């Protein structure tokens, strides 16, 4: 280990930056954020430093550096563009046992600035020891996505209960297990959902339960998670985290194999099917299953292709959970309409083509589409998107033509959009049904109708062959 990572309390402590350029600006902002009492010494100053000085945020000292200038400071940063001067500043600081950082010269430093993830009071830092600051920043960005800002609020709630928990649970090992359960369970998820008051109440209940031993501490919860249209890169950060933390994942046919690979290895996977005329589990049984799993104290992810609230029956499932008094959260996903259209190079709206967009289900009943206002759908200046419209494609096209749409109105069918299997067929209301019939295309598909389809020729950017066979 080249450096010992420590956290220094700089609140109200005197800190000196020598140098007045853009680098000094960045260092000053960092030290001010940490609560330091900052002085900047240089013959000239960057405009941002002048503004900070004018408002009294820091002190500007307009002069050339002299060795006695280091006296009285706890920490010094040498940020000049003169290597010899930086070396002199470093040597002087070390003589007086003052912490010194020389920008881009780690050999002269007694401390270095890491890349910081600030979720105060939670703070994480990444450092390459000066070997590659850019790599450290890249790693910081990856960690940023794994540590939601709400962790700071969670830490503050935990801090408020530390004394209570210590009094209620005297054995250190038991106390550690208690916090591990609380901070990785429903209390944490309530904070992530912005429900801090409920999280505090749940933590209060957990302490009471631990004291009385009359209730299971591990509260179950169900998460309705949108898996997006197929490409795992389109998962939200929160969806990925919940998938990897779940005890049980109940998933549909439309969830891609690449996304299923992201589920942690020891989690239970339950296939719920949901294919046309072939439901592995009827909807009522899925609703019941989610409730029963949560009652055992498990973290349950109901993983759905696209978005749970757009033709995903998410509303039906949470109705059951509400009736059973089971906590739940909904994590939206990129719906197939926006994801598949974007990857097909077809904008759903465009000021020269469509000022509105309508999402419909293409499910058939007795050979007809359910509850469709064909007169409304046949009006110009709009885009129509039919989910699950493969079987009903001939009727959809013929009905639209019958109700006034031009037979030459452009239309496209997207198969397995956003994945390496993506196929796009384009034609018109008159020609597309035959093109699809001859192609052997299979579900899942998305049907897009409107003049926006003509833009695909210019905007087609996605190459499925660029995606590795086993995911990204």
Catalytic positions: 252, 274
The reply to whether 145 sits in an annotated binding site is no
The reply to whether 388 sits in an annotated binding site is yes
Length of the chain: 472
User: What sign results for the dihedral spanned by CA atoms 300, 303, 309, 315?
Assistant: negative
Distance separating alpha carbons of residues 133 and 105, to the nearest angstrom: 12
Distance separating alpha carbons of residues 314 and 286, to the nearest angstrom: 11
Q: Is 137 helix (H, G, I), strand (E, B) or coil?
A: helix
Tell how strand 368-369 and strand 364-365 pair up: antiparallel
DSSP sequence for 402-462: HTT--TT-EEEEEESTTSTT-EEEEEETTTHHHHHHHHT--SSEEEEESGGGGGHHHH---
The reply to whether 427 sits in an annotated binding site is no
Q: Which residues pair with 14 in a beta bridge?
A: 37
Sequence-separated (6 or more) residues with CB below 8 Å from residue 341 = 347, 348, 385, 414, 417, 446, 448
User: Which token pair is 361?
Assistant: 């289900």
The reply to whether 443 sits in an annotated binding site is no
User: Which token pair is 402?
Assistant: 């019958």
The reply to whether 43 sits in an annotated binding site is yes
The answer to whether 215 and 227 have CB atoms below 8 angstroms apart is no
Distance separating alpha carbons of residues 421 and 467, to the nearest angstrom: 10
Distance separating alpha carbons of residues 211 and 111, to the nearest angstrom: 46
The reply to whether 116 sits in an annotated binding site is no
The reply to whether 44 sits in an annotated binding site is yes
Distance separating alpha carbons of residues 76 and 97, to the nearest angstrom: 11
The reply to whether 305 sits in an annotated binding site is yes
303 DSSP assignment: E
- Quick one: which H or E segment has residue 342? helix 336-344
The reply to whether 246 sits in an annotated binding site is no
The reply to whether 466 sits in an annotated binding site is no
The answer to whether 105 and 88 have CB atoms below 8 angstroms apart is no
The reply to whether 141 sits in an annotated binding site is no
The reply to whether 42 sits in an annotated binding site is no
The reply to whether 451 sits in an annotated binding site is no
Distance separating alpha carbons of residues 42 and 65, to the nearest angstrom: 7
**What residues form the annotated binding site?**
22-23, 43-44, 229, 305-307, 310, 335-336, 388, 417
**What residues form the annotated binding site for S-adenosyl-L-methionine?**
229, 305-307, 310, 335-336, 388, 417
**What residues form the annotated binding site for NAD(+)?**
22-23, 43-44
């Amino acid at each position: 280990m080249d450096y010992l990572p420590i956290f220094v309390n700089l609140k109200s402590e005197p800190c000196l930056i020598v140098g007045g350029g853009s680098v000094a600006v960045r260092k000053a902002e960092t030290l001010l954020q940490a609560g330091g009492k900052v002085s900047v010494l240089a013959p000239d100053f960057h405009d941002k430093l002048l503004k900070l000085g004018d408002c009294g945020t820091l002190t500007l000292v307009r002069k050339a550096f002299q060795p006695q200038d280091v006296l009285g400071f706890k920490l010094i940063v040498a940020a000049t563009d003169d290597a010899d001067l930086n070396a002199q500043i470093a040597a002087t600081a070390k003589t007086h046992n003052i912490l010194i950082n020389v920008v881009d010269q780690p050999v002269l430093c007694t401390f270095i600035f890491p890349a910081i993830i600030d979720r105060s009071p939670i703070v994480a830092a990444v450092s390459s020891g000066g070997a590659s600051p850019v790599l450290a920043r890249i790693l910081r960005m990856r960690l940023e996505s794994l540590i939601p800002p709400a962790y700071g609020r969670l830490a503050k709630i935990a801090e408020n209960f530390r004394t209570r928990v210590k009094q209620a649970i005297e054995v250190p090992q038991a106390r550690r297990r208690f916090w591990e359960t609380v901070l990785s369970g429903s209390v944490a998820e309530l904070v992530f959902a912005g429900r801090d008051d409920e999280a505090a109440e749940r933590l209060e209940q957990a302490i009471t339960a631990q004291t009385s031993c009359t209730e299971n501490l591990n509260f179950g919860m169900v998460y309705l998670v949108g898996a997006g249209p197929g490409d795992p890169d389109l998962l939200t950060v929160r969806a990925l985290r919940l998938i990897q933390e779940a005890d049980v994942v109940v998933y549909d046919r439309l969830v891609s194999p690449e996304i299923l690979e992201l589920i942690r290895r020891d989690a239970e996977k339950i296939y719920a099917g949901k294919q046309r005329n072939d439901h592995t589990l009827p909807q009522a049984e899925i609703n019941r299953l989610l409730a029963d799993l949560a009652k055992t104290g498990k973290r349950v992810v109901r993983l759905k292709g696209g978005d749970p609230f757009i033709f995903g029956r998410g509303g039906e499932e949470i109705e059951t959970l509400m009736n059973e008094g089971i906590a739940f959260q909904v994590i939206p996903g990129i719906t197939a309409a926006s994801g598949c259209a974007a990857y097909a190079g077809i904008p759903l709206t465009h000021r020269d083509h469509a000022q509105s967009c309508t999402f419909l289900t293409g499910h058939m009943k007795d050979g007809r589409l359910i509850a469709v206002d064909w007169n409304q759908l046949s009006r110009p200046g709009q885009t129509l998107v039919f989910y699950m419209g493969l079987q009903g494609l001939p009727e959809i096209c013929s009905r639209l033509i019958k109700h006034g749409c031009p037979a030459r109105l452009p239309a496209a069918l997207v198969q397995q959009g956003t994945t390496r299997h993506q196929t796009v067929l384009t034609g018109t209301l008159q020609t597309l049904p035959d093109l699809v019939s001859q192609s052997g295309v299979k579900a899942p598909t998305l049907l897009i109708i409107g003049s926006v389809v003509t833009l695909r020729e210019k905007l087609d950017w996605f190459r499925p062959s660029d995606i590795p066979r086993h995911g990204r």
